[in-house]
Structure 1
Amino acid sequence: MALPARPAPADARDVRDVRVLSVGTALPGAPVDNLALARRFGQSEQWAEWVDVFVGTRTRHLALDLERGTLTHSLADLATTAAARALAEAGLAAGDVDALVLGTATPDLLMPGTVNIVADRLGLDQVPTFQLQSGCTGAFQAIALGRQLLLTGEHHTVLVIGGDVCSRAFDLAADVSALPPEQLVNAMLFGDGAGAVVLSTAPVPGAPVVRDVFTRLVGLGQAPGQTLAWFGPNDRDAGTPAVSEDYKAIEARVPVLAEEIYRELLERLDWKPDGLDYLLPPQLSGRMTRRISELLGNTSAAEISVVTSTGNNGNGLPFLQLEQLLPQLATGERALAIAVESSKWIKAGFALEGA
């Protein structure tokens, strides 16, 4: 789509709408069901059925060849594909992008930043790039930063990406039957993927408006609910697990925090529950999503959830939800998205309104 002329920088009296022009996503390979996981880890069909019931996730996409134990996609691969699709959907070229933001918990390298590898592959140069290191709320943080960049009036179009390759932390040689629950759960919950949106202040007809977005740390003095370790040559054999979860704490806290985010967004916007059309709940697992939806049972909003088929691919998930939402969101309709990060307990949410 052709964008109108770039607006002059904003001042205190000049408030612009930030719009979502398009979304693009990327998932690696074919879906991997619970039976395939069970076979790879030497488990029974009953184990696969237990995963389906306990976790509520039927399939996931993995950037990992389960038979060979090798990665098939990097985060940069997935992020570049998602970003290119978002740009194409918006009818834009790389030269139309004024800034690039990436949210992830699993960068390919500590340096160079994955965001800069993606920028190079897209043909971007001479623009600000930002990489935010965060778990499930990283995509929300990236959207918040992208929106703030646009509201300064110094930028016109920002490309925002989120994604993770969680399977990098899988230990295919592990004896699953001997793993403690805080490690076993990771083989069942997670998948890989990436997504991107094009944000702009251009008054493009039909592009929904980002009415609000916030992220907030709420874990003062509390133990992390999830850890993702990084190992160097001096500590890689220390015996520390790559990924660990306090799933009991997550089960207890995430629904409560999700309800708090939901109430706060409604209050900030002066929206009423019965005026909400769509809800994008946290996507930790199918089972957890159902619990949260039941907790928010007083809303008649249609639920947009994908985790049962995609697995929890971290910062890619909100974009997969948006990919389903945007074609449905009509003029005047309202949607809320919620995320909770358990690593050190972060609340996040954003609101869209159809234009």
Structure 2
Amino acid sequence: MDTTDIRILSAGSALPGPPVGNAALARRFHMDATWETWVNVFIGTHTRHLAVDLDSGEITSSLADLGETAARRALERGGLDAAEIDLMVLATATPDALMPATVNVIADRLGIDGVPTYQLQSGCAGAVQALDVARSLLTSGDARTALVIGGDSCAKHFDLGADLTRLSPAELVNVVLFGDGAGAVVLTSRPARDTVALRRVLNRLTGRGRPPGQVVEWYGRADRHPGRPAVTEDYKAVEESVPLLAAEILKELLDDLGWSAVDVDYLLPPQLSGTMTARIVAGLNLPAAEEITCVRQTGNTGNALPFLQLERALAEMTTGDRALGIAVESSKWIKAGFALEKV
């Protein structure tokens, strides 16, 4: 069976709490107006949703909470119930625990049992990797309908007591760059009219010999070191590499499909930050494509973002429309992307 037979039936998403603006972050961390201006201009992200209460420090949503909500919405929009799901895949860089796997917690809450489940540990490319795994299993004929979830919750890494004036740029950027959220899609190999076909999925490691662009630590009781930050970001390396990798992904997808730049009606670009996304889109030069971007409002929600974009794309695409999604994993440099066509 060709990948053109795999259809996206529906999508859903979940964001925790109300949006948190840059002014609210500045007040919480006692930063001046200059810092807020720096965030607005340099990062270009205006709000984000956080699974932690900034006043009390209470965790308000787990990844399982967000994943369950997104999945329920996707199932409802697809007119499906739990008994119709043949397999589940979750992509995340921030599981609730090492064990049990968060995918199985979500499955239990949804009433899904007796099916294969997979959890992929990955950053921004994880959502595409999850699509790739589900697509491959559906194509093999062993399953007919898959629930694919992507999400991240950075709340456990949010240090409300941090003195931001003492943080290095590699740590400071993470305070404003990221948000929390989850997204889900339902894929099927069953014939379905008026749906979006998943034409191609690209997933390729390109990080041999390259230092990581991002590191997220996992501390155990025996290996905690006060001087080792939980999350660091080599923003300069990301800034230099992601636009180039995005262009390579675009070219490879277009060449593989035999599409030209003017054939693309919708572009789902990488969602690192508002400023970076704008730069990437300008460099890709797809004059006929409508950009689907949400990072300025949601922050970088990691594995949730491609599904947040997909949710919007599914609502807007009409018969014959084509869309390309591009994601770059900076932690160890993965090129990822996918192609859609409304049929």
Above 0.5 in TM-score? yes
CA distance in 1, matches of 2:179, 2:203: 24
Greater displacement, 28-37 / 316-325 = 316-325
Q: Which residue is 2:142 aligned to? A: 154
Residue type at the aligned position of 1:124: I
CA distance in 1, matches of 2:237, 2:101: 32
Q: After superposition, where does 1:115-154 map in structure 2 within 5 Å?
A: 115-154=103-142
Tell me how many residue pairs correspond in the alignment.
Answer: 343
CA distance in 1, matches of 2:285, 2:116: 42
CA distance in 2, matches of 1:262, 1:274: 13
Residue type at the aligned position of 1:304: I
Residue 70 (structure 1) shift: 1.7
Paired residue secondary structure (1:196):
strand
1:29 maps to 2:17 = yes
Greater displacement, 239-248 / 39-48 = 39-48
Q: Which residue is 1:308 aligned to? A: 296
Residue 49 (structure 1) shift: 2.0
Q: Which residue is 1:90 aligned to? A: 78
Residue 137 (structure 1) shift: 0.5
1:225 maps to 2:236 = no
2:31 alignment partner, one of 43, 48, 73: 43
CA distance in 1, matches of 2:184, 2:282: 29
Q: After superposition, where does 1:65-76 map in structure 2 within 5 Å?
A: 65-76=53-64
Q: Which residue is 2:177 aligned to? A: 189
Q: Which residue is 2:99 aligned to? A: 111
Residue 298 (structure 1) shift: 4.4
Conservation of the 8 A alpha-carbon contact between 1:86 and 1:196: yes
Q: After superposition, where does 1:51-70 map in structure 2 within 5 Å?
A: 51-70=39-58
Residue 238 (structure 1) shift: 4.5
CA distance in 2, matches of 1:296, 1:16: 25
Q: Which residue is 1:270 aligned to? A: 258
CA distance in 2, matches of 1:56, 1:189: 9
CA distance in 1, matches of 2:146, 2:306: 17
Paired residue secondary structure (1:350):
strand
Deviations 1:175-218 (A, max 9, x none): 10111000000001000000000000111111100000021100
Q: Which residue is 1:5 aligned to? A: none
Conservation of the 8 A alpha-carbon contact between 1:80 and 1:121: yes
CA distance in 1, matches of 2:218, 2:316: 41
Conservation of the 8 A alpha-carbon contact between 1:16 and 1:201: no
Conservation of the 8 A alpha-carbon contact between 1:16 and 1:151: no
Paired residue secondary structure (1:210):
strand
Conservation of the 8 A alpha-carbon contact between 1:159 and 1:196: yes
Residue 16 (structure 1) shift: 6.1
Conservation of the 8 A alpha-carbon contact between 1:104 and 1:133: yes
Residue type at the aligned position of 1:347: K
Instruction: Sort the Cα spacing of 1:15 and 1:40 in 2 relative to 1 into closer, same or farther, 3 A.
Output: closer
Paired residue secondary structure (2:66):
helix
Instruction: Sort the Cα spacing of 1:298 and 1:158 in 2 relative to 1 into closer, same or farther, 3 A.
Output: closer
CA distance in 2, matches of 1:116, 1:252: 38
Deviations 1:309-346 (A, max 9, x none): 00001000011111111111111110000000100000
Deviations 1:28-63 (A, max 9, x none): 000000000001111123321220111000000000
Residue type at the aligned position of 1:306: C
Q: Which residue is 1:170 aligned to? A: 158
> Which consecutive segments of 4 or more residues in structure 1 shift more than 3 A?
none
Residue type at the aligned position of 1:60: R
Q: Which residue is 2:337 aligned to? A: 349
TM value normalised by structure 1 = 0.95
Instruction: Sort the Cα spacing of 1:180 and 1:329 in 2 relative to 1 into closer, same or farther, 3 A.
Output: same
Conservation of the 8 A alpha-carbon contact between 2:264 and 2:286: no
2:238 alignment partner, one of 211, 227, 250: 250
CA RMSD of superposed structures (Å) = 1.0
Q: Which residue is 1:322 aligned to? A: 310
TM value normalised by structure 2 = 0.98
1:79 maps to 2:56 = no
CA distance in 2, matches of 1:206, 1:177: 53
CA distance in 1, matches of 2:99, 2:69: 21
Residue 300 (structure 1) shift: 2.1
Residue type at the aligned position of 1:73: S
Residue 297 (structure 1) shift: 2.1
Residue type at the aligned position of 1:150: L
1:19 alignment partner, one of 4, 7, 31: 7
Greater displacement, 326-335 / 130-139 = 326-335
Paired residue secondary structure (1:71):
coil
Deviations 1:85-132 (A, max 9, x none): 100000100000000000000000000000000000000110000000
Instruction: Could you tell me which runs of 5 or more consecutive residues in structure 1 were left unpaired when the two chains were aligned.
Output: 1-9
CA distance in 2, matches of 1:322, 1:104: 17
